[in-house]
Amino acid sequence: MSFRSLALASVAIALGAGVAWADTTVTVLHVSENPAQKAVWEKIAKDYNAEHKGVKVEFKYLENEAFKAKLPTMLQSSDRPDLFYSWSGGVMQAQDKAGFLKDITADVGPVEATMAPTAVDAFKVDGKVVGVPFEVGEVAFYYNKKLFEKAGVKAEDIKSWDDFLGAVKKLKAAGITPIVVGAGEKWPMHFYYSYLVMRIGGETALADAKAGKDGGFKNATFVEAGKRLLELAALEPFQPGYLSTKHTESAGMFGDGKAAMDLMGQWLLAMQGQFSVSGKGLAEDGCRVLPVAVACAKTGHGRAPSGGQSGHFGLRS
């Protein structure tokens, strides 16, 4: 199924499996800072509206942190959105528990059959489907090619955690800030610990700990991940003031060449230019992705070169 078809299927579910009523408005709340992505959604809405008289699909957008802050209140208001972006996980489960999400299990059968089970399962709560996944995001270490060359660091040589720490040391010795992070918004910083946990304990580590297995969050996987994070912290790899730096600011710093690496999702490619001083950021061939899972401890479960996350539109009940 194409991206366009999947998006239109989400709207059809919001309308009641394709049944449109006169003068029906479907509000979709999205989190996006990419003009090109917004244009795609607006085109989909325009085409849908043209094909379904009496129906008006409206996209509304909020900046990432504003979205997180305002959505809980909006879901309790009379003008709450019909569909909204979600990262799944605990927040989505809490939204369902509060009665804000609609069970669409019966509606998504044909759509579900076209997708990988892992994508579908990410948006299930207690076996019921509450959202439709539409994208998979890659979280990886992006690096500045010129700064790596200046410090004599070769990305292809970084094959273990110790190699990664060695690269950080080389960058610092060359007077280059190794890593930029927007820790002021917390979630960019959590990537480091979370991905260490998953590389060491495997893909079920977090779910197992939440369920209380093997000592829960006190088991050896989490202790080992903490030790690895302390090893990195001891090298002081981040930019000055990183604890108060916002996500957009860190993206701009990376685009301005003020740090060699950024552990971030694929949205960085657009943001690093948008929020840079020049408004252009790094050239397309100046920003690359490290080819291995550098967040993998020496005795860990290295798998993919990056982490992932999915986006979906949850439907209110």
* Neighbour tally for 7: CB within 10 Å: 21
* pLDDT for position 120: 85
pLDDT bin (cut points 50, 70, 90) of residue 121 is confident
Strand partners, 315: 83
Residue 225, classed as helix, strand or coil, is helix
**pLDDT for residue 308 is more than 70:** no
CATH number for 237: 3.40.190.10
Based on the fold, state whether residues 116 and 77 are members of the same structural domain.
yes
Based on the fold, state whether residues 149 and 276 are members of the same structural domain.
yes
φ, ψ of residue 67 to 5 degrees: the values are -60, -50
Q: Which domain holds residue 85?
A: 3-137+311-315
CA separation for the pair 223, 229 (Å, rounded): 10
pLDDT bin (cut points 50, 70, 90) of residue 14 is low
Domains of the chain: total = 2
Based on the fold, state whether residues 54 and 85 are members of the same structural domain.
yes
**pLDDT for residue 84 is more than 60:** yes
Based on the fold, state whether residues 147 and 296 are members of the same structural domain.
yes
pLDDT bin (cut points 50, 70, 90) of residue 302 is very low
Based on the fold, state whether residues 288 and 160 are members of the same structural domain.
yes
pLDDT bin (cut points 50, 70, 90) of residue 317 is very low
Residue with tokens 């090619």: 145
The rounded mean pLDDT for the chain is: 84
CA separation for the pair 173, 140 (Å, rounded): 24
Residue with tokens 């790094």: 282
Contact by Cβ (8 Å): 313, 85: yes
* pLDDT for position 228: 96
Based on the fold, state whether residues 155 and 238 are members of the same structural domain.
yes
Determine which helix (DSSP H) or strand (DSSP E) holds 198, and give its type and residue range: helix 187-201
Based on the fold, state whether residues 278 and 213 are members of the same structural domain.
yes
Based on the fold, state whether residues 105 and 143 are members of the same structural domain.
no
pTM of the model: 0.74
Based on the fold, state whether residues 259 and 222 are members of the same structural domain.
yes
Contact by Cβ (8 Å): 239, 265: no
Based on the fold, state whether residues 186 and 43 are members of the same structural domain.
no
Based on the fold, state whether residues 133 and 260 are members of the same structural domain.
no
pLDDT bin (cut points 50, 70, 90) of residue 315 is very low
Contact by Cβ (8 Å): 238, 177: yes
DSSP class per residue in 272-302: HHHTSSSSS-S-GGGEEE-SS-TT--TTS--
Residue 182, classed as helix, strand or coil, is coil
* pLDDT for position 7: 53
CA separation for the pair 237, 263 (Å, rounded): 12
Based on the fold, state whether residues 147 and 224 are members of the same structural domain.
yes
Closest CA to 265 of 211, 208, 191, 214: 191
106-120, 236-250, 275-289: range with lowest mean pLDDT = 106-120
